[in-house]
Amino acid sequence: MESHEIKSNSEGDRIDYGIILSVMLLALIGLVSIYLAASHDGSTSQNPVRATIMQAAWYAIGGVGIFFVMRFDAEQLWRIAPYLYGIGIFLMIAVLIFYDRATEINTGAKSWFALGPISFQPSEIMKPAYILMLSRVVTQHNAAYSHTIQNDWKLIGRMVLWTLPIAILMKLQNDFGTTLVFLAIFAGVTLVAGINWRILLPIALGAAAIGTLAILLVTQSWGRAFLGSIGFKTYQFARIDSWLNPSGSTSGDSYQLWQSMKAIGSGQLTGKGPFHMAVAVPVRESDMIFSVIGEAFGFVGAAVLILLYFMLIYQMIRVTFDTKNEFYAYISTGVIMMILFHVFENIGMNIGLLPLTGIPLPFISQGGSFLLANMLSVGMVLSMRYHHTSYMFSRDTEDFE
């Protein structure tokens, strides 16, 4: 594999400080929000100071992870992708055996390891590994084949083969929300892989039709029976019910969503301030963290947060165009889709636009393994600027061995 590298005058010039600044500002908002959630929400027994310090420690670990991953260039990331994917699959199988029993009782998901006070979710670390592997598969295929209908179907088939083990393991772990994240990554990479629109359009329309049909079936008793027979759970029906009618059971299934909407609405334009929060929202430090920002800092605070996400995504896209590297482009797309889906789904479910799925908010919600996965993914994008390398992949597949 031949490489052409352009090096800046100093190491400092090769670091994208715009991305780092965006992440640091999001981290600051996250630490403040976690402290406020633990301080004012009666549904959590966490010590506010301890919760904030623990999250700060995970940020420190993630910072080290960014520095480490940033040192890997495209060729090194290419070579380690299969190994990281294999390790991720192994951990996702292991968690089905050694999962945390207490978490499984509370959430129904067999997706967490527990080592004393520290819990760890292997599927989170699988996300950057999956992005790397999928990017390698697409780059390797496009280097060896031209874009024809037949070859594009082959590419989709290869991508599905690498995605299917993850989907099966996520189903066994009973973690539907994280499965959607992997599907979002898959969809994003597929869109930029150069696949013919005559293939993509029917797939997109079919997916939209299936989603619409599933929602319609939920509203019918016979439809629920059918969905239940193919694996839908009672709690998933309850989440859709609360989404379709959030005021229908404000003390039951819709309580969490209703309280979140009440908290955000009560913040109005500028918020109540950090010392006047009064609405209790379950799991506020994690899935419902956006309600903290909405109540304490109002529409202005929420808009600033969304603007920071926009700036982060914009800078990632800019770096991708600057480096002009196909493999990196797919990596960046996967990372961007992962972050975008989390932001869109989390904020959407907090304000009632989307069903509750247990999706946390990137760099804001409490959670060590989730934060670490996001930080490592940012590190992969930062390596693009750090090395500023454009690899010319040969159309001879032997270059990829």
Determine phi and psi for 359, rounding to 5 degrees: -95, 120
**Which structure tokens are listed for 57?**
């420690």
pLDDT recorded at residue 10 = 60
Confidence of residue 13 (pLDDT cuts 50, 70, 90): low
Cα–Cα separations (whole angstroms), residue 182 to 140, 144, 159, 349: 20, 26, 12, 18
Please answer whether residues 343 and 361 qualify as being in contact, where contact means their C-beta atoms are separated by less than 8 angstroms: yes
CB under 8 A, 24+ apart: contacts of 6-10: 6/388, 6/389, 6/390, 7/388, 8/388
Please answer whether residues 199 and 153 qualify as being in contact, where contact means their C-beta atoms are separated by less than 8 angstroms: yes
Cα–Cα separations (whole angstroms), residue 256 to 280, 284, 288: 9, 9, 9
pLDDT recorded at residue 39 = 86
Cα–Cα separations (whole angstroms), residue 163 to 78, 89, 231: 18, 11, 20
Confidence of residue 395 (pLDDT cuts 50, 70, 90): very low
Q: Reply yes or no on whether the pLDDT at 188 is more than 60.
A: yes
Buried (b) or exposed (e) across 197-219, using 16+ Cβ within 10 A?
Answer: eeebeeeeeeeeeeeeeeeebbe
Centroid of chain to Cα 176: 13
Cα–Cα separations (whole angstroms), residue 347 to 32, 112, 204, 278, 306: 18, 24, 24, 20, 9
- What percentage of the chain reaches a pLDDT higher than 90? 58
pLDDT recorded at residue 3 = 44
Confidence of residue 110 (pLDDT cuts 50, 70, 90): confident
Please answer whether residues 211 and 230 qualify as being in contact, where contact means their C-beta atoms are separated by less than 8 angstroms: no
Tens-digit pLDDT profile for residues 19-31? 999 999 999 999 9
Among the listed residues 382, 399, 296, 386, the one whose alpha carbon sits nearest the alpha carbon of residue 62: 382
pLDDT recorded at residue 298 = 94
Confidence of residue 12 (pLDDT cuts 50, 70, 90): low
Average pLDDT (314-325) is: 86
Average pLDDT (250-275) is: 88
- What percentage of the chain reaches a pLDDT higher than 70? 92
Q: Reply yes or no on whether the pLDDT at 81 is more than 90.
A: yes
pLDDT recorded at residue 98 = 87
> Which of 41-55, 194-208, 285-299, 369-383 has the lowest average pLDDT?
41-55
Among the listed residues 119, 100, 69, the one whose alpha carbon sits nearest the alpha carbon of residue 368: 119
pLDDT recorded at residue 41 = 64
Neighbours of 243 (CB within 10 A): 20
Neighbours of 155 (CB within 10 A): 21
Q: Reply yes or no on whether the pLDDT at 231 is more than 80.
A: no
Q: DSSP code of 361?
A: P
pLDDT recorded at residue 400 = 47
Return the H-helix or E-strand segment holding 315: helix 289-323
SS3 content of the chain, % helix, strand, coil (to 5): 70, 5, 25
Tens-digit pLDDT profile for residues 125-175? 999 999 999 999 999 999 999 989 999 999 999 999 999 999 999 999 988
Listed in sequence order, the residues at least 6 apart from 17 whose beta carbon sits closer than 8 Å to its beta carbon are none
Q: Reply yes or no on whether the pLDDT at 63 is more than 90.
A: yes
Mean pLDDT for all residues in the chain: 87
Burial class (CB in 10 A: 0-12, 13-18, 19+), 263: buried
How far apart (Å, rounded) are the C-alpha atoms in residues 7 and 242? 54
